[in-house]
Structures are given as C-alpha cells and as structure tokens.
Amino acid sequence: MKKVLTTFIAAIIVVAGALAWYVTRKPASPFDTVAAASAPSADLIAEGKYVARTADCVACHSVPGGQPFAGGLKMGTPLGDIYTTNITPDPKDGIGAYTLADFDRAIRQGVAKDGHRLYPAMPYPSYSKMSDADIRALYAYFMHDVKPQAVANTPSAIPSPMNMRWPIALWNAAFAPSRPYSNVKAHDAEWNRGAYLVQGPGHCGSCHTPRGAAFNEKGMTQNSKLYLSGALLDGWYAPSLRSDPNTGLGRWTEADIYAFLKNGRNGHGVVFGSMLEAYNNSTQFLSDADLHAIAHYLKSLPGDPARDGAPFAYSDATMAQLTPAQRMSVPGAQIFAAKCSFCHKLDGKGQDPWIPPLAGATSSLVPDAASQINVVLNGSGRVMANGMPDSYRMPPYRAQLSDKEVAEVLTFVRKAWGNHGGPVDAKGVAALRARTDPASPQVIVLQMR
Amino acid sequence: MKDNDPVLMEDVAEGAPRNLSRRQFLVTSAGVASGALVIGMGIPLTPARAAGTDQMAPGTNVPAFLEIRPDNRVRLLSPFNEGGQGIFTGMAQIVGEELDADPESFIVENAPAGHDYLVVFGKMRITGGSLSTRSSYDTMRRLGALGRQMLLEAAAAQLNVAVDSLTTEPGQVVHTVSGQKIAYGDLAKAALDLPVPDPKSVKLKDPKDFRWIKQPFKRLDVPDKATGKAIYAMDCKVEGMLHAAVQHAPRLGLKPGDIRNLADVQAMKGVHSVHKLDGAVAVVAERFWVAKLGADALQVDWQEPTEAEKAKIRYMPADFSTEAFARHLTEAKGDGTEAESHGNIKTAFDGPGKVISATYHSQYVHHAQLEPASTLARFNADGTLDIWLPNQAPEQFQAQIAKVAGLKPEQVNVNSPLLGGFFGRHFLYPGANPYPQAVALAKAVGRPVKVIWTREQEFLRDPLRPMAAVRFRGALDASGMPVAIEAISATEGPSEALRGHNPKKVDSNAVEGLTGKAYAIPNRRIAQIYVKNPTSLAYWRSVGHSMNDFLYEGFLDEMADAGGKDPYDLRMTLLKGNARLTNLLKAVGDLSGGWKRGPFTAPDGTRRARGVAMASPFGSEAAAIAEVSIDPAGKVVVHDVWEAIDPGSIVNPALVKLQAMSAATLGVSQVLMEEVIYKTGEPEARNYDLYPILPPDRAPRIHVRIVESGAQMGGVGEPPLPAVPAAIGNAVSHLTGKRVRSMPLDKLTLAT
Amino acid sequence: MKLKINGHSVEVTSDPDTPLLWVIRDELGMTGTKFGCGLAQCGACSVMLDGKVARSCVTPLSSVGAAEVTTIEAVEADPVGQRVVEKWIAHQVPQCGYCQSGQVVAATALLKENPKPSRDDIAAAMVNLCRCGTYNRISDAMLDLAGLGTAKDGETL
C-alpha cells in the first residue's frame, strides 16, 4: 500500500473549523503510564520483527538502495509530493526519542510525538486495530533491532495553507476507528486471526476497499458489503478479495489464496503492480498458519452477483480469430499474437504457474482496466520468492505500442476466451502513460537491516 | 585508455593509415591449431608452416592461409571475420580467382592472431571501417596467385616439365601439350612445402579475364546459417566447462562491496561459486540458467569510487540524464576547434543575403546486435590460454587478453567464431567486453568458463554512438543559392573517447559527414566543441556519418526551402562539374522512377512525400530517396527506399546489394525508433522491450542500384547507411511542414 | 522429466521453471536455437511445439508436457522445413545468421499450418526481429514458398 493520498486533503479542508483543542490535543494511549522494557527479550524483538512484516513497514519507509527504514519514498498527491519519514531509532532524524506511548499514538492514531497529525497515507486507520501486544513488540523491534540512521526527513512539497495538518484530526474522528480488533464470537480462532491480519496490520483495505468522497475507506470490516470489494488506487485496480467469481476470489480455493501469498503465484495469476511489493516485502514472510488464516477469512466474505455479473466461462471461439489468416482483420488480435501470445499462449491460458492466464483473469474481468493498461505500458517488477528472482517477467510495451494499439490489444483480450471486462479507450491509456514509469527489470529487495 | 590501446577508426577511415608505427602488432607462432580443438575441423598444418614470420610481408605466407585437401576442397583462413557482410565469400572469390579454384570449393574460417594476417594496408588487421576488401584486394589476389604458382611449380617437378609449359583450369594444373591434368588436391602437400615465391614475380589476372570476381556469387555461409549449424561465440563449448553469468554495476565506475545474500546464492543447487569482479559480480554454475538466476539474485552493496579513482576512469554520476545532457550540449559555448574551412565564412555571413540557423541533435544508440557478448576461456596445462570471443580485431584482443591473464601474447590463442552481428560492437572497448571476466573466472575456478551476458547486462555495458548538438548557420545569396554554411558540433568523438582527448585536435570521427561534403558551397566552416560524455562511446555502423549526414542533409534541405529551391535540383546544381556524384544522383532519381518530391496521394489513398540525401562515407558515395507517409497514430511509415551506391569498383554485386539493404534498414531503424535514454545515471532500456529495433512490419522495400564509376575502391558495409535517415527526415519534414531536427522520429507526434 | 524432442525421448533434469531454450542449449547441447533477448522480444529462440511456433526462452520446461519439440536441427527432416531451407538458400536470406534459425522455424510452422498463406498471413506470422535487415529477402522467400511469385525483377539478389 503506497501513495494512498490523492484527493484527500482537498476534501478535508472543507470540513475544517472545529474546536482547536480537539484538533491539536494528543489522544490518550494505553501505554501512557506504562514504560517499555529497557532490555526487551530476543523473543519480543523477533515477534516485533514479524509484526513489521505483517504491517509491511519497509515497503513505504525504505527506498531501493537506501538505508532500512530511513524513509524518503516519494508519494505524489494532487497538492504536492510528500515523503515517508525516517522511522529508525535515530534520536534526531528518526523516532529514537519516542516513548512506547508516542510510538503507539503514531501507529494507531496517526499523531506524531510533537502532536502533528500524520497524513493518512500512513494506514493508521487500519493499524488502529492492532493489538497492544503487537504494538509493544513492534516498538521493541524498532528501538532495539533497527539501526539508527542519521538521514534527515524530506519536507513535503505541499504549499501553505494546504499543508496544515490539524483538519486531519477531524477526518480521523469521522473515519478512523480507534479501537483494537476484538474477536467475533461467531467465528473460530483461525477466522479471527485472519480478520485481524487483514483488517489490522495487513491493511489490505487500503488498496482493496473503495473510498468515499473524503477518501475514507467505505467499510473497515466484513460488516460492510463494500469492504475489500475492489478499488482503483494510484494507477492500479486492486480487485475484490470477496467471493466474486469474476472480479474477486470466487473461483479461488483457500489453497489458491495461500499459494498466491506464499509463492507469489498460482494457476489464476502472478502478483504484479502494487501487490508485487506487498508480496516481495510482506506476505511471503508470514507463517503458514497466518496465511491459511487470511485465506480462511477472505473466503468467508460473500460476493455480490449484482456487481460481479455472470460468472466467467471459457470459450474457445476466440481461437478462430487468432489464425494467421484471421488476425490481421480483428483489431488487436495481431498485436496479441505477435507481442503477448508467446508467453500467455494463443489460448489465453498462460503457463501455469509461471506465466499467468489472461483468460478468466480478474484483471480481464474487472470493469476498470487500469491494471492491465499499466502492466502493458510498464511491465512488472521482479517477483522475489524465497530470495530467488522469477524466471519470467512481464516486459513494458510503452516504447512499442501506441495508445491506440494498447487500447486495441486490451479490448481484444478483455473480450476473448469468454472474458467480459469491457473495452479500453486510447485516452485512458494516454492518461496512465503520462503519469507512470516502466518497472525496473532489476531485482529490488528492500532490506530490514 | 592505455590498457586498451585500440586501433582507432580515425587512423584508418580513409586511405592509408596514420600513426600506426607506435602500435605493436604481435606475432604468434601458435594459434592456427588451437582453434580446431572445438570448432575447427582438424588442421594438418604443421606449426612451422602456420608460424608467421617477420621476414615475410603480411598476406604472402601462403601456407598460413591455405590448405588444399585431397578432395580438392580449399580451406582459407580469412584475415577478416564474417558477421553477415559476406566477407568469407568475397575472400574466396578474390583468392579463388587468382588461385584458379572455384570459390564454391572453399571452406573459410577466421584466421588466428598473427603477423601474417595484418593485411589491412599491409600493416594491421580489423574487420571494420568498411575496409576489408578495399584494403586487401591486391594482397589477397596476390596470395591466390602465389598459391597457384606454387602448385604449378610442384606439378612441374612431379611431371618433370618446365613450369611455363603448364597452366591451370579451375582446381587443376594442366600440361598444355600432353593434356595431362593433376588435381590441386594431389599437389597440395608438395606445393605447400615449397618456398613462397617472390610476390613481385607473380602476375595478376587482367580483370577482363575474371571468372568469379564481379559475379553475384552465392554466399558460402548461407546453408549453415539456414540450418542452425553456424557456430557463434555463444555456442562454443569445451570439455569440463562451467557457465557464468554476471550482474554489472548499475553505473560505470561503481565497485562491488558486500554481497548480502552471498551464502544463500552459494548454496543454490548447481552453483559452483560466486565472485567479485571489476565492476561486476559473477555466479559460476554447471548450467547457465542457474548462473543467471544466481547473478540476478545477488544483493550487492555497490560502492562509489574515490575521487582519485573517478579521475582515472569513465564514471557515470547518479544524476546523469540524456535529457539534461542534450541541453548541456546545446548550450556549449564558443566556435569550436576547426575541422574544415573553405573561403571566408565571416564575409559571407555579413553579406546582404538571407541567413538561417538551426540546432540539430543526434541521440545515443545501441549496437543491439542480436548475439549478446560472450567469452569462453580455458587455461591449458602448458600455460597457454585458449579463448573464444566475438571480435573485430584478433591481434588487439590477444595483446590485451595477455595483459589481463599475465601471459605473453603468443601464449594466448584467440579464436574468432562467426559474429552474430557486430556493427562496431566488437572492438576493444574498456569495460564493454566480457573477456576480462572470463579470464578471471577461469583462473579462479581452475576450469574453462564461458561467460554469457544476458541482454540486460549487454545493454548495461554496450558502448554507445555519441550524442551531439550541431549548430548550423547558412547564408543564401539573392537568388537563393547557398553561399556559406557553418556547422559547430558539440560532442565527443568515439576515437578521442577511447584514446583520450587532444585539445588541439578535432576527432575526425566526431565530425565526418559534416566534413567532406562535396557540395560547392564556397564558404564553409566545420568545427567541434569537445564535451565529455560520462557513457562509454563506440563506433556504430558508419560512425560519425551515421548521425552527421542526417544533420547536414537536413539543414541543406532547410537552405533549399529558404531559397525556394527544390532539394534534388539544388544538390544537382551544387554538384555541377562533379561527374561521379551527378551521375549517382541521377541514378537514384531514375531508380525511383524520376524525382518527385510531392506531397502526392498514393493509390492507397495515403498522402506521401519523398526526400533525398547524399553521403560520402568510407571512400564510397551514396545517394538515397525515401518515400514516407504518416499513419493515423502519427507515426512515420517508410514505404520505399531507393539507393544508388558507388564504391568505385566491386567484387560481388550480390554482396554489395545485400550490404546496401542491410545498412539502409539499420538507417531506417535508427531514424524511426532508436534512442538510449538515461535517467538517474542508468539506461532505462535493458532489452528490446524499451529499446525496440525495426520490426518486419515497419521495414520498407529497399531498391539498390550499384554504380561502378571506376574510382578507387571504397567501402561497402557502412556507406549505404548515412543517406537513408537523412532522406527519410527530409521526406517527413516536407510532408508535415514541420522541420525534423532530431532522431528518433517516433518521439514526435506527426500529422500531414 | 521426459522431453520429446526431434523424434527422440530424452530425460532432462533441469528445474521445471527453466526456460526450454536453456534445456536445449545447455543440457542437450544443441546450439542451433539462439539466445537473443530472453524476453520473447526477438524470436531467435523459436522452436516448434507440436508443429506450432513457440519462443523457447519463455517456455518453462514444465509447460512442454507431452508436446513434441522440434528445433532447427530437425527442420530439414520435415519436408516443409526442407523446402523452407532450400528457398532460404535460393533467396540468400541470412546475413549474420543469428536470427535465422528462428526465422526458418517460424516459416516452417506457418507453412505446416497453411501451405498457401496469403501476404497478410505471412506478415502476421513472420514477426521475428532481424538486425541485419534481411526482411525484404525473408518476404521474397516466403512469397516464393507460398506460390505468390517472386519479387519484381531487380529486387532479389
């Protein structure tokens, strides 16, 4: 989850005007009267390190080639760029002076030690559900295992007065839950563990839940039908994680979900776009039990047939359009054959599990084609599973295909083999082309130490 | 750049070489036999015969070049390597002609390093500069004639008759009186044991008697290449060989520090070992794919060089971008160092006529030969080193490899397999050849090692054709005729990049194509402002001409437009009295069905226009016309290219045509789509995905006419390239009404 | 894993995600199939899987399954392939030759599927890259093979 902030600030400026004491006060923390252990156990630190993996802190607070957790990742917003901060225990540039309570307020309530409100690019609305135990462990890890780095923070480029932080407090009151996750009695421990990870540290909803006018996630739990029902964020469409057969996980088994999070791939797809970062830096490091719990929880979220439409059924009628004799006359078919088919194969079925199918792929069925446009223009980064890079990568085609050609080939793919994702127009391609860059062909590993 | 001391194109581009005396060319007594172990075919030459000797002039020691087998097949060791240009076939024709042996009976391989093979102007050896045939034509003919003479002498001894009673027919000696015939294969052993006659004693054929030279003889290498049997460096293998893959430093000059996951990669199944090299890390494995994954996986802490180190190397800073560098070149101040001057430019520009000016740009381009670089190295028990690598200059590589390996040059056996394209890629360029890696790894692991660069690693180290910004000024008289032209190029030439910049000198390779133009513009001045590049630079097919003729010929069209002249007619006028070039321009006009500039509507309804351009590269002359339209997406479509090429005289019209088509196609590719873009010190493209090369559906039909003016023989491999991008640019400018001043055209969105 | 290749059945030991290209080149020692890009961009690695063209650099060993692999080494054993090679020689198509194994394989696969391809069929199927600029002659050879005549006088070698 990166670059959450897009239209958010403009929206919240409007709701400004409440009481100043409210918006500048420091909220309470259960740790206000509790001192952290000065010499935490190795177990606690290890536990904290694991929590850092579940919360994927490194993905946003490190940059390739930079020091671990020293911040500096640029996040574009309509009002200007902001940069993630140094969260190493350096006393001056980092969070070395943070008490456990300060740390807790930052993670779960979005309030820095000096009282300023963090931009909700930091997913504290999700982290607010994290348990006291996890916060305590995470604090121990950051204070005692992460190396202090004297790397100064980069000031945000949002101009005054849009850079005022206090209105965020009002937004928090409206949209950020402020209570840790509590178990749902009707469900078993595995389900509850899965729910905790998904809603809390995993902050899956940051990308996968649609957002409202104030850029708030429309639903933070399974109680909302919109929770994890798919959303567009930063040029990628994060699909539904509910049991929608087309646009979600309806055709996936729990074992499929587990394999996807563990290995980065399964017969339905391979991680790409923002999920590549989540996989490379986070999900593959989770325990089998936790991954199974996540799969179990996600499979309990019902789909919405009204939104999802008729379930995908493979059709081989497309094959007739893909003979050399036919494909010059079907728009996009020749491009598909010449540029895509060698990997994804003429039948659209891919090469399980190394190269994903396009037939029946969620990205071919979701109405928003951003992910497919993005991956065609920019390719995908390297999947790093268990320390080893993938053998096959999706190349960027921005230098070879015009906006019109990308639109044509995707329109073809999105109605081939039974897909029904709907057409792509050249303007949408042009818009994404202008604000995205090709993925690096090099392996990028963000280090945690 | 002492370590690499290459022979530079600058030294040899035109006519006799300069400044060669200081270069050391090494004589080797090894070599011939070594190549046979893997890719040769068993060579019965004795070392004594194969040995080059200082006493004999290069290109005269017949047994070092020829072997004639009992079945009458002739094995020729060619001083020039085959990379698609057809030189093996051309050499067989030239030698076969004078030897009187059917070139079809020839088996041709690249010769090892050795004094005998320094046949380029009798002094050096490269496969490049479009030099092969023109620099060695007489020498190689004489070699064939010497061989024939030795066969005649052997036959005379065998038949006990006078030599002058004998003659030859293809493949055999004939005793005219008795009608007795002896096949060359039966004479070869005795013949090649004879001393080589005095080269002056043999008479070359009268060209009117040529049997094979000037014929469109079919290429000898085609059958193997159509069936996958041809062997490239990438394909070489020896017993016990390990494979290696590398990860290069992302920027030139960085050094490998700690490898974070060293133990993990060392523990990979099939991995033999992990190594730190100069500017790279390598994984050695039993199979290449394992090595490749391991090399990709290595998490290396790349270290910046010290300031002292930076001063000694080509260092790529982390903030380098081609966009900013293009601006930097444009802003370069001053009048530059003069390369060519004629008349009085100052008075001409101060005169009453019209003055126009414009700045043109050339871009970095990749060689992008389809075979990425590789090297196989094997140390032998006797202390010698066998090495297989793509190269355009075996003796130069031998000298450098010897230094790297700590051996004497004669201990290094250089094998030069077929080249999977070269276009200037395989000269000695610092950091751009894998041999130092292969040598270091073979030494470290005690087994033969083959290093293959993946496309990504190849593009990260491929040295580039330079960027330039050229400021043009032109003055026209009252009638619209050009009276003055000035071109000041801000750039670094490839030769000064390799040898070091001499502030008093212009790199002729930086300005060729701005200089040497034949147009009778009375006042002209061509100059260079030296601007150092942080990238490695290289020769790229037709070198300076590949960019400069595009720039010059474009501005010439601007002058034509400003003066209200048709560009074809203007060129004809400016070449008045130059019979060779007016003939050539007329030839290309005729070939295209008569000059018509357009725009016009083609039968398929598209709006089209034509452009014309000329170039004088590498001792030859070329003129091209291109017809273009703009497709609905705003991209240029090149429909046809017509090109007339005059290399003076030729050996094989089929080869000339083939090379003209090849060079023209590369010209189309460069002008339409090629550009290396750097951002933050790294090239954005690491493969053909982001550096597309011309695909078949954008290739025009190319029509070639060969004109033999009888002038001194010029080059063929490169000369047909430079006029083509210029003709396309001029056609596009005219069709769109918008002046094209940079490449590639795909960057522009155009409309008619 | 068993691999059916050029009429033989062989046992191979490479990992299942290894590209078929490197199984052919390294493990089986057949070097006619070329490595150009490793990214399905150039086509130098083209082989046939059950007679259909495939780019072996992006074909994981595990997805070959029971398909019969045909490489350039066995192209002449096929009568269609033999004709392609003949015309490739007649039209003097190759230059450096590095892409030509792939070009010949692609041509053979097309003609096996459709012995009389149209110009459009040829353009649709012959998409491999060549850096030497042999495209005109590839086109000439293909038109000849398709029975669509040879190029106009003066345009072939």
The partner residue sitting opposite A391, judged by closest CB among C55, C60, C113, is C60
Q: What is the pLDDT of residue B751?
A: 75
For residue C53, give how far its alpha carbon lies from the nearest alpha carbon of chain A (Å): 9
Strand, coil or helix: B248: strand
Q: Output the pLDDT for position B43.
A: 32
Chain B residues touching residue C14 (CB < 8 angstroms)? 287, 289
Residues facing B629 on adjacent strands: B637
Instruction: Give residue B411's identity as a one-letter amino acid code.
Output: Q
Sorted by sequence, the CB contacts under 8 Å of residue C38 that are 6+ apart come out as: B454, B455, B456, B687, C19, C21, C57
Which residue of chain A has the CA closest to C111? A324
Contact A388 B299 (CB under 8 A): no
Q: Which amino acid is at B624?
A: A
**DSSP codes, A367-380:** S--HHHHHHHHH--
Q: How far apart are CA B132 and CA B119, in angstroms?
A: 9
Considering only CA atoms, which of A33, A50, A38, A222 is closest in space to residue A133?
Answer: A50
Q: Output the pLDDT for position B313.
A: 87
Structure tokens, B708: 């033999």
- Nearest residue on chain B to C103, judged by CA atoms? B226
What is the secondary structure of B327-368 as a DSSP string?
Answer: HHHHT--S--EEEEEES-HHHHHHSSSEEEEEEEEE--B---
Q: How big is the B-C interface in CB pairs under 8 Å?
A: 178
Dihedral angle of Cα B558, B562, B567, B571, to the nearest 10 degrees: -90
Q: CA A299 → CA A232, A258, A263, B523, distances in Å?
A: 22, 11, 19, 82
Look at residues A233, A168, A134 and name the one whose alpha carbon lies nearest to residue A18.
A168
Residues B330, B333, B339: CA angle, nearest 5 degrees: 90
In this structure, the strands spanning A384-385 and A269-270 are: unpaired
Tokens of B111: 């010769």
A65/A438 Cα distance (integer angstroms) = 18
**Residue B647 pLDDT more than 80?**
yes
Token pair of B267, please?
């523990």
Packing angle between helix B132-159 and helix B184-193, nearest 10 degrees? 100
Where helices occur in B160-232 by DSSP H, the ranges are 184-193, 222-226
Give dist(CA B505, CA B508) in Å, integer. Answer: 9
Test C41 with A395 for CB contact under 8 angstroms.
Answer: yes
Residue numbers of chain A with a pLDDT score lower than 50:
1, 3, 6, 10, 13-18
At B195-223, the pLDDT tens digits run: 999 999 999 999 999 999 999 999 999 99
Interface with chain B: mutation pick from A375, A380, A405, A443, highest number of B CBs within 10 Å: A443
Rounded Cα distance, B669 and B746, in Å: 10
pLDDT of residue B40: 27
Residues of chain C positioned with their CB less than 8 A from the CB of B454:
38
Which chain C residue's Cα is nearest to B698? C135
In order along its 157 residues, chain C shows pLDDT tens digits of 999 999 999 999 999 999 999 999 999 999 999 999 999 999 999 999 999 999 999 999 999 999 999 999 999 999 999 999 999 999 999 999 999 999 999 999 999 999 999 999 999 999 999 999 999 999 999 999 999 976 554 444 4
Q: What pLDDT is recorded for position A215?
A: 85
- DSSP H or E segment with residue A408: helix A403-413
**pLDDT, tens digit (0-9, with 9 covering 90-100), for B483-533:** 999 999 999 999 999 999 999 999 999 999 999 999 999 999 999 999 999
pLDDT digits (tens, 9 = 90+) for B426-475: 999 999 999 999 999 999 999 999 999 999 999 999 999 999 999 999 99
Inter-CA distances, A84 with A58, A77, A154, B488, Å? 11, 13, 8, 47
Close Cβ partners of A160 (under 8 Å, ≥ 6 residues apart): none
Nearest-CA distance from C31 to chain A in Å?
Answer: 21
CA distance B224 to C117: 26
Contact by Cβ (8 Å): B716, B609 = no
- Residues of chain B above pLDDT 70, percent: 93
What single-letter amino acid sits at A94?
Answer: G
Contacts of A337 in chain C (CB under 8 A): 124, 127
pTM listed for this prediction: 0.93
DSSP classification of residue B628? E
Q: Quick one: residue B59, left, alpha or beta (phi over 0 = left, psi -120 to 50 = alpha)?
A: left
Rounded to 5°, the CA angle B499-B537-B82 comes to 95
- Residue B44, pLDDT > 90, answer no
Per-residue H/E/C for chain A? CCCCCCCHHHHHHCCCCCCHHHHHCCCCCCCCCCCCCCCCCHHHHHHHHHHHHHHCHHHHHCCCCCCCCCCCCEEEECCEEEECCCCCCCCCCCCCCCCHHHHHHHHHHCECCCCCECCCCCCHHHHCCCCHHHHHHHHHHHHHCCCCCCCCCCCCCCCCCCCCCCHHHHHHHHHCCCCCCCCCCCCCHHHHHHHHHHHCCCCCHHHHCCECCCCCECCCCCCCCCCCCCEEECCEEECCCCECCCCCCCCCCHHHHHHHHHHCEECCEECCCHHHHHHHHCHHHCCHHHHHHHHHHHHCCECCHHHHCCCCCCCHHHHHHHCHHHHCCCCCHHHHHHHHHHHHCCCCCCECCCECCCCCCHHHHCCCCHHHHHHHHHCCCCCEECCEECCCCCCCCCCCCCHHHHHHHHHHHCCHHHCCCCCCCHHHHHHHHHHCCCCCCCCCCCCCC
Q: Alpha helices of A176-285 — where are they, by DSSP H?
A: 189-199, 205-208, 254-263, 274-281
Q: How much of chain B, in percent, has pLDDT values that exceed 90?
A: 90
Residues 6+ apart with CB under 8 A from B540: B365, B367, B423, B424, B464, B465, B546
All structural domains of chain B, each given as residue ranges with its CATH number in brackets, are 40-226 (3.30.365.10), 233-251+255-303+373-452 (3.30.365.10), 325-364+465-747 (3.30.365.10)
- A344: three-class secondary structure by DSSP: helix
B451-479 b/e with 16+ CB inside 10 Å = b?
bbbbbbbbbbbbbbbbbbbbbbbbbbbee
Q: Would you call A113 helix, strand, or coil by DSSP?
A: coil
Residues of A whose CB is below 8 A from B696: none
Domains, chain C = 2-74 (3.10.20.30), 75-145 (1.10.150.120)
Our CA-based measurement puts residue B451 at a distance from the nearest CA of chain A, in whole angstroms, of 19
Angle (nearest 5°) at CA B680 between B677 and B686: 45
* Amino acid, res. B195: P
Q: How far apart are the first and last CA of chain B?
A: 49
Distance from CA of C128 to the nearest CA of B (A): 7
Q: How many CA atoms lie within 13 A of A347 on its CB side?
A: 8
pLDDT at A21: 67
- Assign residue B593 a region: left if phi > 0, alpha if psi is -120 to 50, beta otherwise? left
CA dist C6 → B287, C48, C55, C69, C100 (Å)? 22, 10, 16, 6, 18
CA distance B349 to B356: 10
Per-residue pLDDT, B36:
25
CA-CA-CA-CA torsion sign (C134, C135, C138, C144): negative
Residue A75's pLDDT is 87
- Residues B652 and B708 sit within 8 Å (Cβ to Cβ): no
Q: Are B665 and C41 an interchain contact pair (Cβ–Cβ within 8 Å)?
A: no
Higher-confidence position of B420 and B352 = B420
How does pLDDT run across B379-429, given as a tens digit for each residue?
Answer: 999 999 999 999 999 999 999 999 999 999 999 999 999 999 999 999 999
Nearest CA in chain A to B682: A440
Tokens 């045909």, residue? C70
Residues in chain C: 157
Farthest CA pair distance, chain B:
84
Q: For residue A122, give the DSSP letter.
A: S
- What are the tens digits of pLDDT across the range B238-294? 999 999 999 999 999 999 999 999 999 999 999 999 999 999 999 999 999 999 999
Closest CA to C104 of C150, C36, C42, C53: C53
Six token digits for residue B682 = 């790294």
In chain B, which residues have their Cβ closer than 8 Å to the Cβ of A408?
Answer: none
Minimum-distance CB partner of B454 among C38, C41, C136: C38
Handedness of CA A170, A171, A175, A178 (dihedral sign): negative
Q: Do B657 and C157 touch (CB under 8 A)?
A: yes
Tell me the chain A residues in contact with residue C120 when contact means C-beta distances shorter than 8 Å.
Answer: 324-325, 328-329
Distances (CA, A) of A3 to A221, A261, A278, C27: 22, 22, 13, 46
